[in-house]
Amino acid sequence: MKLLLIFDSGLAGAGGKSNPNCELTAKKGMIGTGEMLAPHFNKIGGTVIATLYCGVEYFKDHQDEVVKKMTAMAKKLSPDFVVCGPGFNFPEYSEMCAMCATSILENTDIKACAMMSQENSATIETYRTKTPIVKMPKKGGTGLNNSIENLCELIDASVNHPEKLEEVKNKYCY
């Protein structure tokens, strides 16, 4: 199963607050927080083919361009699933996750989801009907590992077991 990750520069290991204007970048394979997710992805037979990222300030200044280009890149790479997150309680990055996942679902045939903590209530409220948003703890909260397992269940259901998808969504998404 081919997976594509959409991160911010912090999660990508390219410096978060120290590199907020980092432009749109695409790297083959997994980087940064991808290392933390990889063992879980392996369990469902998932491999990260590429990671796309940019800085949060860059996203704030170029929202339309970022969403459009992330969507186009997803279409070009044609993965089985796009993970936009984990957004933790980072407000700008979580919004980017929700917007990118929504755009990919609306404009391509690729499956996607966002992932963030409940602190992003406005973003969750706006996008929860447009894209699955997997629940997770805020930065430093309890249950991170668990939420990654839930994300994997959602990916697996979306790609391999569509009959289970609604049930999984109801269980793990907002």
Partner 1 sequence: MFDKLEKALTPIADTLSKNKVLTAIRDGFLVTVPMTIVGSIFLLIANFPIDGWSEFIASFAGEGWEAYLSAVTSSTFDVVALTGVLGIGYAYAREQGVDKIAGAVVALTCFLIVTPKSHPDYVNEAGKAFSGFSFGNLGTAGMFLGMITAIVSVLIFSWAMKRKLVIKLPDGVPPAVMDSFAALIPAAFAMTTFAIIHGIFKNTSYEYAHNFIYEVLQAPLVGIGRSNLFEVTYQFLSTLFWFFGINGPAVTNTVFGPIHKVLTQENLDAAKAGLEMTNIFTAGFSDFFCNYGGGGSTLGLVIMMAFLGKSARIKQLGRLSLPAAIFGINEPIIFGLPIVLNPIMAVPFILVPVLNTVTATIATNIGVLPITSGVQLPWTMPIMFSGWLVTGSLVASVFQLAQLVMDMLIYYPFLKMLDKKYLEEESLHADETDDLDDLSFDDLSFD
Query: Which two three-digit tokens encode residue 96?
Result: 């980017």
Kindly list the residues in this chain that would bind partner 1 in the complex (CB under 8 A). Answer: 10-19, 24-29, 31-33, 35-36, 49-50, 68-69, 72-73, 76-77, 137, 139-145
Q: How far is the CB of 129 from partner 1 (least distance, A)?
A: 26
In the complex, least distance from residue 114 CB atom to partner 1, rounded to whole angstroms: 17
Q: Is 63 left (phi over 0), alpha (psi -120 to 50) or beta?
A: alpha
The CB-of-60 to partner 1 minimum distance in angstroms stands at 17
Phi–psi pair at 16, nearest 5 degrees: -90, -85
Minimum distance of partner 1 from residue 16's CB (angstroms): 6
Which residues does 56 contact at the CB level (< 8 Å), separation at least 6?
Answer: 8, 9, 10, 16, 20, 90, 92, 93, 96
Tell me whether residue 27 or residue 135 sits nearer to partner 1 (CB atom): 27
| Residue with Cβ nearer partner 1 (71 or 169) | 71
Judged by CB, which is closer to partner 1: 65, or 167? Answer: 65
SS3 142: coil
